[in-house]
Amino acid sequence: MLDTKVAELLNVQVNREFYSAYLYLDFSNYYTEQGLDGFANWYRIQAQEERDHAMLFMQYMQNNGCKVTLEAIDKPDKEFASAADPLHAGYEHEQYVTSLIHNIYDAAGQAKDFRTMQFLDWFVKEQGEEETNAEGLIKKYDLFGTDPRALYMLDNELAARVYSAPSLVL
Ligand code: FEO
């Protein structure tokens, strides 16, 4: 069994990861409405990754004899005035998720729960990549977003993203 506080935080993280999937699906739907199918694809795949993260947290809890409680998932409520807005919202969201992961890591450290710390190592690295990707999208949009032809090419680049399952296997 895991430390009670660590188990609670892991259960909250299940919800946060499913919320992330929901949020990114909302971004994807927004871009579909804007005719930017590549951006829509990028966030649809991002949503799949977030669902994977939720499933990994659930499985880790179950592997350690913890009960998982599925709570209601908040409605995504962001309003977008331009195609740049979801990119900024996504970057901010990833920074928030990183802080959540670090918080669980901290609690696991205090509880000397080395198993959970080792499990979380993958997520610490993953968050670094997710923040880099999210920031990279903002930079590209800042460079190319106002030129329709360049935006078309960027959209095509993002359309090429394909889903791959997470490298962490429990
Ligand atoms: Fe599961 Fe994008 O953090």
Ligand 1 atom showing the smallest separation from residue 53 Cα: 1
Provide CB contacts within 8 A for 38, sequence distance 6+.
154, 155, 156, 157, 158, 159, 160
Question: What's at 81, amino acid-wise?
Answer: A
* Nearest residue (CA) to ligand 1, atom 1: 50
Residue 127's pLDDT is what?
Answer: 98
pLDDT in tens, 13-48: 999 999 999 999 999 999 999 999 999 999 999 999
pTM: 0.97
Average pLDDT over residues 161-165: 96
Average pLDDT over residues 97-123: 98
Regarding the beta carbon of 20 and ligand 1, being less than 6 Å apart is answered yes
Which of 109, 103, 14 has the alpha carbon at shortest distance from 61? 14
Distance, in Å, from the CA atom of 151 to the CA atom of 145, rounded to the nearest integer, reads 5
Ligand 1 atom showing the smallest separation from residue 130 Cα: 2
Answer yes or no: are the C-beta atoms of 131 and 95 closer than 8 Å: yes
Report the separation in Å between the CA atom of 148 and the middle of ligand 1, taken as the mean of its atom positions.
30
